[in-house]
Chain A
């Protein structure tokens, strides 16, 4: 992942708490909890100083590692009574700083909640603790011919609790949905320490769809302590097509044409020329290095479905001007086609000292225009960029290459990133498709949402957490912050004063 320096460590968050506040909280926690699960020494707190967005680092006042729901309830009840903020943390792989601790707060690690509690084959469900790794669920039910569909690229390490908090996606979202479409029930603990069941074993529940609201709420509304996920039968067959184009516009149009043809691919990814070069040099997946862009189009289902859809894909992309089409002959070749895509991030690490992974979504029809726009911004900011897209659902991951040791490059990179966010909004998209807002995109939220919407978000938050103690200052900016940021809300894709240059 991006190895940005600790440039943001100073200045962020509240001033260091007084030692007596820390001593008081430690005493309150250890009065009810085993002493060894309340960490206070600097060397013990160090592992929690950042998540996957390592540019932002901060030590928590204390960290607690509970192993039972009752202990989580106690931690939250005590924090609530002492007006102490709490940041919940799963595997710490998030890319938006959602698990960044607070100097005056308690870091609540769910790492010990790592058991699969029940596999209900008949109902195709698994009940798991929040610290269970995403991939571990699919592995545990593999022998039943089942799997858990959402597969964020960090699935080896990321935990399901974090997936629910962020509404994680992955490569297969267009066909199989996001986390929100693949869970049926969660247990949460409120900031008052109350345990609630949200959702149900049935396909719906009485009252409001609080499961929808909780999913993607970035730890601001409650702490997830149990998740019931849906399991799907593994498709009989999957096949991948590697399709090359000599022009990004043709590749972008081919994406829309595939969808229009009535095909819903299991995965539809796009790499631009710089990404192709870097990955090919790294993993030798056989990508055509002279192509301006390639598409990876995966079709899964029964043998008949795959054969039918692949034939249609071939027709459509030929008509869209593909210069080369290769269809995987077996799972070995399919894995090879994917190897390049999956190695795209580390491949950037080989060609650049540092890189910054962006995340935004746009309507598919704008793919080519946004790619070209990002190219222009790249020239304008004088920094290289490689593009890896979940093209099927318009989710972009531009990777900005930079060198943190060059004075000013980090700041320039962040400004470039902000410009990409605004570009996504101008084309009717969003500033984050799957990585979340966290601390990273908090200022961009001021651009995406007018103050009335932000005020409504804060009111919803207050219904769950009146004292604003759960993961404060993340995900939804205060109006004050937006005023300081000088945000321009982009309305209907129209920036105010489009004649002015915005850097």
Chain B
């Protein structure tokens, strides 16, 4: 680590320590590509903690399948470095903009189409260096695949929206990129797609993504060419041309579906084989049925009730014009919420890190 990066980190830690002392809220600022995620948008009036200067790959050894990088590093830069070695982030993180950073990617904990088959962002976090709410620089986990020394606070950072600590450095497990990939398209209705996706999931086929929209099901197979070809033959369907672009569009919400109409866009997270839900509006299915996108004017209450009946949860991804929907996240049971609040307090006692980003109260 150079002196400059050292002093950048020390400066960030000092700013957090000062804010803690003064009880002054901080808004952690990365690339600003995902303000719509989380409970409340970043508070632009609060003091900004800018992590974008703390950037760069710290270490990357392809033989270890591990990369460590600073939180302010552009996601695109990380992916380019991995690509040179034929490796990748197997959770296929959405960017939602060119300014996406590694820190924001892990803080929001989002994952792309491969998630049910290769794992989520949290599954690839091996270690972190964080600044807790006291301004202390702490290191948890490490750069090895197996590590059970101490509580797994690193993985806990994934999806915590920076409210438990400012991500400074992240060590990730990376994987070889698939050698061969093909996507097959089938004409199915939604119910059939759910049924087929999950029946196929019982077979030892190299399925790496399953999406449905507008009467068409898309199934991606990746691995050795021979096994992809063999599975395609058994499955039937048509081969999709330029499938890499298709999946990138699904991942980045660039498909027409995501900008269709004026109604709010909801993300429904359910067990994959959950039947189609009786809700007005238009639906797309990703993650083999486990992540469903709903453009709907139905009340938040009825959407949440329909999803909760199957043990799932619903969050608002995009508001319609007018009053934004609150809460955006699916409410937690009271006991779990109290525990979460105590956990937050244990890491950020003054409650200064991104307050309100994970819960209206903390």
Chain B residues, CB < 8 A from A453: 138-140, 150
Is residue A256 contacting chain B, with contact meaning CB distance below 8 A? yes
Given that A174-B145, A304-B224 are contacting pairs, would A209 and B155 also be in contact in the complex, using a CB cutoff of 8 Å? yes
Chain A residues, CB < 8 A from B164: 208
Check A364–B271 contact: CB distance below 8 A. no
Check A208–B156 contact: CB distance below 8 A. yes
Given that A208-B340, A210-B339 are contacting pairs, would A302 and B205 also be in contact in the complex, using a CB cutoff of 8 Å? yes
Q: Which residues between 216 and 271 of chain B lie within 8 Å of chain A, taking CB atoms? A: 223-227, 229-231, 269-271
Bound together, the chains give a CA A449 to CA B223 distance in angstroms of: 40
Bound together, the chains give a CA A494 to CA B109 distance in angstroms of: 33
Bound together, the chains give a CA A144 to CA B122 distance in angstroms of: 29
Partner of B343, one of A173, A308, A449, A463: A463
Given that A209-B156, A256-B63, A476-B150 are contacting pairs, would A203 and B346 also be in contact in the complex, using a CB cutoff of 8 Å? no
Chain A residues, CB < 8 A from B231: 302
Bound together, the chains give a CA A309 to CA B330 distance in angstroms of: 44
Chain A residues, CB < 8 A from B330: 206
Give a binary string over B327-349; 1 marks a CB under 8 Å from any A CB, 0 the rest: 00111110111011011011100
Check A429–B176 contact: CB distance below 8 A. no
Chain B residues, CB < 8 A from A256: 63-64
- Distance from B3 Cβ to chain A, minimum over Cβ atoms (Å): 16
Is residue B52 contacting chain A, with contact meaning CB distance below 8 A? no
Is residue A84 contacting chain B, with contact meaning CB distance below 8 A? no
- Distance from A234 Cβ to chain B, minimum over Cβ atoms (Å): 6
Check B359–A207 contact: CB distance below 8 A. yes
Is residue B55 contacting chain A, with contact meaning CB distance below 8 A? no
Chain B residues, CB < 8 A from A390: 146
Bound together, the chains give a CA A463 to CA B140 distance in angstroms of: 18
Bound together, the chains give a CA A68 to CA B311 distance in angstroms of: 23
Interface hub of A180, A302, A462 (most chain B Cβ within 10 A): A302
**Residues in chain A within 8 A of chain B (CB atoms):** 120-125, 144-146, 166-167, 169, 173-174, 177-178, 180-181, 190, 194, 196-198, 200-210, 212-213, 215-217, 221, 233-236, 256-257, 259-260, 262-264, 301-305, 307-309, 361-365, 390, 393-395, 428-437, 441, 445, 448-449, 452-453, 456-457, 459-464, 475-476
Q: Which residue of A lies closest to B201 (CB)?
A: A124
Partner of B61, one of A125, A233, A363, A452: A363
Given that A202-B312, A206-B332 are contacting pairs, would A125 and B271 also be in contact in the complex, using a CB cutoff of 8 Å? yes
Bound together, the chains give a CA A203 to CA B63 distance in angstroms of: 30
Chain A residues, CB < 8 A from B146: 169, 173, 178, 361, 390, 393-395, 430, 433-434
Give a binary string over B343-362; 1 marks a CB under 8 Å from any A CB, 0 the rest: 10111000000000011000
Bound together, the chains give a CA A441 to CA B150 distance in angstroms of: 11
Check B145–A202 contact: CB distance below 8 A. no
Check B138–A263 contact: CB distance below 8 A. no
Could you give 16 example pairs across A and B, Cβ below 8 Å?
Answer: A121-B202, A146-B202, A196-B333, A202-B270, A209-B160, A210-B339, A213-B151, A259-B65, A262-B177, A302-B223, A303-B230, A308-B226, A394-B144, A430-B148, A437-B149, A453-B140
Bound together, the chains give a CA A201 to CA B313 distance in angstroms of: 10
Is residue B72 contacting chain A, with contact meaning CB distance below 8 A? no
Is residue B62 contacting chain A, with contact meaning CB distance below 8 A? yes
Check A206–B201 contact: CB distance below 8 A. no
Chain B residues, CB < 8 A from A428: 142-144
Q: Which residue of B lies closest to A231 (CB)?
A: B202
Chain A residues, CB < 8 A from B311: 200-202
Question: Which 4 residue pairs are nearest across A and B when measured between Cβ atoms?
Answer: A304-B226, A302-B227, A393-B145, A122-B273
Bound together, the chains give a CA A209 to CA B138 distance in angstroms of: 19
Bound together, the chains give a CA A236 to CA B149 distance in angstroms of: 35
Q: Which residues between 292 and 311 of chain B lie within 8 Å of chain A, taking CB atoms? A: 310-311
Check B202–A144 contact: CB distance below 8 A. yes
Partner of A463, one of B149, B198, B313, B342: B342
Starting from the known contacts A146-B202, A209-B158, A456-B136, 9 additional A-B residue pairs (CB-CB under 8 Å) come to A120-B271, A173-B145, A173-B146, A208-B340, A233-B204, A234-B204, A304-B229, A453-B150, A463-B339
Chain A residues, CB < 8 A from B291: 203
- Distance from A177 Cβ to chain B, minimum over Cβ atoms (Å): 7
* Count of residues in B whose CB is under 8 Å from the partner chain: 87
Chain B residues, CB < 8 A from A121: 202
Check A204–B269 contact: CB distance below 8 A. yes
Bound together, the chains give a CA A208 to CA B164 distance in angstroms of: 9
Check B332–A429 contact: CB distance below 8 A. no
Interface-forming stretch among B21-29, B94-102, B113-121?
A: B113-121
Chain A residues, CB < 8 A from B109: 204, 209
Given that A169-B146, A363-B64, A363-B143 are contacting pairs, would A207 and B337 also be in contact in the complex, using a CB cutoff of 8 Å? yes
- Distance from A126 Cβ to chain B, minimum over Cβ atoms (Å): 13
Chain A residues, CB < 8 A from B332: 206-207
Partner of A305, one of B132, B155, B226, B271: B226
Is residue B211 contacting chain A, with contact meaning CB distance below 8 A? no
Check A302–B206 contact: CB distance below 8 A. yes
Chain B residues, CB < 8 A from A206: 313, 315, 329-332
Chain B residues, CB < 8 A from A459: 346-347
Q: Which residue of A lies closest to B144 (CB)?
A: A361
Chain A residues, CB < 8 A from B199: 122
Given that A181-B123, A213-B156 are contacting pairs, would A264 and B176 also be in contact in the complex, using a CB cutoff of 8 Å? yes
Q: Which residue of A lies closest to B329 (CB)?
A: A206
Chain A residues, CB < 8 A from B205: 233, 302
Q: Which residue of B lies closest to A146 (CB)?
A: B202
Q: Which residue of A lies closest to B119 (CB)?
A: A181
Is residue B159 contacting chain A, with contact meaning CB distance below 8 A? yes
Given that A208-B343, A305-B206, A361-B146 are contacting pairs, would A202 and B290 also be in contact in the complex, using a CB cutoff of 8 Å? yes
Check B145–A395 contact: CB distance below 8 A. yes
Bound together, the chains give a CA A367 to CA B333 distance in angstroms of: 47
Bound together, the chains give a CA A302 to CA B180 distance in angstroms of: 14
Bound together, the chains give a CA A362 to CA B158 distance in angstroms of: 24
Bound together, the chains give a CA A309 to CA B180 distance in angstroms of: 13
Check A167–B152 contact: CB distance below 8 A. yes
Check B63–A257 contact: CB distance below 8 A. yes
Check A457–B145 contact: CB distance below 8 A. no
Bound together, the chains give a CA A431 to CA B147 distance in angstroms of: 8
Chain A residues, CB < 8 A from B66: 363
Is residue B153 contacting chain A, with contact meaning CB distance below 8 A? yes
Partner of A123, one of B120, B148, B273: B273
Check A301–B206 contact: CB distance below 8 A. yes
Check A362–B202 contact: CB distance below 8 A. no
Q: Which residues between 89 and 136 of chain B lie within 8 Å of chain A, taking CB atoms? A: 109, 115-116, 119-120, 122-123, 132, 136
Given that A202-B312, A460-B151, A463-B343 are contacting pairs, would A208 and B290 also be in contact in the complex, using a CB cutoff of 8 Å? no
Q: Which residue of A lies closest to B229 (CB)?
A: A304
Q: Which residue of A lies closest to B150 (CB)?
A: A457
Chain B residues, CB < 8 A from A305: 206, 223-224, 226-227
Check A216–B340 contact: CB distance below 8 A. no
Chain B residues, CB < 8 A from A177: 119, 123
Is residue B324 contacting chain A, with contact meaning CB distance below 8 A? no
Bound together, the chains give a CA A205 to CA B156 distance in angstroms of: 12
Interface hub of B148, B164, B332, B347 (most chain A Cβ within 10 A): B148
Interface hub of B138, B229, B339 (most chain A Cβ within 10 A): B339
